[in-house]
Amino acid sequence: MNEWTQKNPLEWNEYVNKEVKVTADEKHEYQGWVFTVDPVSASVVLVNFQDTGKASVVVVMGHAVREVEIVKDGDEEMVSRLSSLFMPEGRHVLGKDELRRKKECLRAWLEKNLIPVTEEDETLRVAGVLTVNPPYGTQDCSSSNEIILARVQSLVESNPGPQENQ
């Protein structure tokens, strides 16, 4: 076991959104911005942005990491670039108030369409057989019943928004 794999997730988190130099087995060196550290394998996910606007991603396996040196801290712009990198196209991070409004709006829409809905923390449970998790889009619906899943996803997609379903 090496020193890197003995760290805990809070210690690894100190490297996230920072530019680092990683020395691995056989003196291989990697440099880039830490997107995350896998808590199970201690693998480091490094991102480098090209001039073309594209990004390259390198994963340095945790067992191979010998040393990690912080080169510089990331500013707000870099943190934003890194977090948006793996976000699906057209989606953005929603604030708590915005998520709450979306949940309430969807719940009202489903109830208006005579669909039984209950809440379990942040999750909407539909008819006891389907869940809708934040951010409450069609892709956030989950059920083993394909027929109900398709019908509820269709309803979610046709939700007119907060202004029309009150």
- Specify the pLDDT at position 141: 92
Query: Residue 165 — pLDDT band, cuts 50, 70, 90?
Result: very low
- Specify the pLDDT at position 42: 94
Strand 130-132 vs strand 29-37: parallel, antiparallel, or unpaired? Answer: unpaired
CA atoms within 13 A on the CB side of 63: 2
Question: Mind listing the pLDDT tens digit for each residue in 54-111?
Answer: 889 999 999 999 999 999 998 888 888 888 777 655 555 667 788 889 999 999 999 9
Query: Residue 166 — pLDDT band, cuts 50, 70, 90?
Result: very low
Q: Which of 20-24, 134-138, 151-155 has the lowest mean pLDDT?
A: 134-138
Average pLDDT in the 120-141 region? 91
Average pLDDT in the 124-151 region? 92
Closest CA to 61 of 78, 42, 76, 77: 42
Q: CA–CA separation, 43 vs 67, rounded Å?
A: 12
Question: What CATH number labels 4-85?
Answer: 2.30.30.100
- Specify the pLDDT at position 132: 94
